[in-house]
Amino acid sequence: MKKMKKKFILFSMIFLLIFSTTVLPLNTFAESEKAPATSKVTARYELPFELNVASYILVSLDTGEVIFEKNSDKPLIPASLTKLLTSYVAMKYTEDLDGTTVTARQTVFDEIYGYNGSTADIRKGETLSMRQLLYAMLLPSANEAAGMVADHIGKGSKSNFYMLMNTEAKKLGALNTNFTNAHGLFTDNHYTTAYDMYLIGKACYEMPGFMDIATTTMYQMPANTRHDAPYNILTTIKMQNKSSPFYRSYVKGLKTGSLPEAGSNFVTVCQKNGESYLLVVMGAFTDGSTLTSESPHFEATAKIMDYFFGEFSLKPANSLDAPVTEVKLKYAKDTDSLLLYPKEAVYSVLPNSAEENSFQKIYNIPKEVSAPVKAGDSIGTVSYYIADSLVGTTDLVCAEDYDRDFIIFLIEKFKEALHSLYFKVVIIVTLVLILSFIIFQIYLGKKYEKMQKIHRRTK
């Protein structure tokens, strides 16, 4: 009976230890804090002055933030900004820009006859490479070059090319764009928005080799069947010419476009102090007040960007070398906290007068973690906000390895077990079992004594 009692107690203790150490969770995670709700993207700031411009949008290419905006979703006439999408499609669907040649057919010139539009003096029957046609489109805004591209990639059907243009625009997210020609001369139902032109311009900017062409100020066209000698073509972007009163060193391409019905348009990348921005200006008109020059698109660009670079800059929300928070670390030797570092740098465009604590941080991290952990392990995330607008999110990682101390682990697990509901349940169950066992043993003892008395009487 004593052996049975010892075995029962030993079994109960083993059961208690296994139950408490395997059922108890190793980590307890906090509920994620809910981030502020975000709405449709709007401009972070407003210009402090008016401009006679139908629409504009300035976006950081480093962060994707919309800095300034006016009517950026309003359908407008793009004019020769159209050639940005034409160039994008040409580069995407041409494997060898130098080895692919196109011959100018009469139908190309029939389409643009009577418009008095810009050309690169390409003539009927001349053959040029696709790269040369790109220079012709992007520098002097040659309409015949755009027609040649459409004729070649559309395999003789310009409507096929226009369909391809609109398909590619939709792929880029330009959902409010419909192009009915490749050059931008006025036709019905040919429109886009400043926001869509930002998306198209960004795609061009990211296309390998595009910026080399778009930022060129002068290019030499080759001698040809109708040209006895090479000749130079020049960019329409006066802001890239040092001799121009509109010259700005930060302007890098991309494309101009003007029509009487559209006003003056300009899409450009502006780079300064290691920062990159894309500006779209559409429908700029000289009014003798806010815009006084004969190049209102350049004047508007200069006023917007000179103001911006003077008042704003890209500021870091974090540092990769500095921890942003810490969490409790369990089972490690010599420390009970784990410092968390941002995995990636997060930046935002802020006024130069902004204070360092302008960023609101929202954490999504556990209350505690358990060793072992390795350097680089992701523990959670942190999101940075400016005025309830999400700037960026990055993982939080540990910078060092922390091994598990087995003795500390056992002690802590035992402490956890003592304070857990599971432990209390097991203790109660065990006590009930022991009490039941004792009662049962008492019952057996009394039964045994009764049987012994009966046995003695029968002797």
The 3 state secondary structure assigned to 173-203 is: CCCCCECCCCCCCCCCCCEECHHHHHHHHHH
Nearest Cα residue to 31 out of 431, 321, 367: 367
pLDDT grade for 355, boundaries at 50, 70 and 90: confident
pTM for the full predicted model: 0.80
Please report the pLDDT score of residue 61 as a whole number: 98
What 8-state DSSP symbol labels residue 352? T
pLDDT grade for 293, boundaries at 50, 70 and 90: very high
Better pLDDT: 7 or 191:
191
pLDDT tens-digit readout, 209-268: 999 999 999 999 999 999 999 999 999 999 999 999 999 999 999 999 999 999 999 999
What 8-state DSSP symbol labels residue 288? S
pLDDT grade for 95, boundaries at 50, 70 and 90: very high
Q: Are 139 and 146 in contact (CB under 8 A)?
A: no
pLDDT tens-digit readout, 314-350: 999 999 999 999 999 988 888 899 999 999 999 999 9
Mean pLDDT of all residues in 70-95: 98
Please report the pLDDT score of residue 443 as a whole number: 83
Task: Give the whole-angstrom CA distance, residue 84 versus residue 138.
Answer: 8
Task: Please count the CA atoms within 13 angstroms of the CA of 370 that sit on its side-chain side.
Answer: 13
Lowest mean pLDDT among 170-184, 201-215, 345-359: 345-359
Please report the pLDDT score of residue 59 as a whole number: 98
Better pLDDT: 438 or 193:
193
Please report the pLDDT score of residue 356 as a whole number: 74
Task: Give the whole-angstrom CA distance, residue 449 versus residue 443.
Answer: 10
pLDDT grade for 30, boundaries at 50, 70 and 90: very low
Please report the pLDDT score of residue 32 as a whole number: 34
Nearest Cα residue to 199 out of 393, 57, 39: 57
Task: Give the whole-angstrom CA distance, residue 146 versus residue 136.
Answer: 8
Please report the pLDDT score of residue 27 as a whole number: 38
pLDDT tens-digit readout, 97-138: 999 999 999 999 999 998 989 999 999 999 999 999 999 999
Please report the pLDDT score of residue 240 as a whole number: 98
Q: Degrees (nearest 5) of the Cα angle 398, 404, 408? A: 125
What 8-state DSSP symbol labels residue 75? -
Mean pLDDT of all residues in 279-301: 97
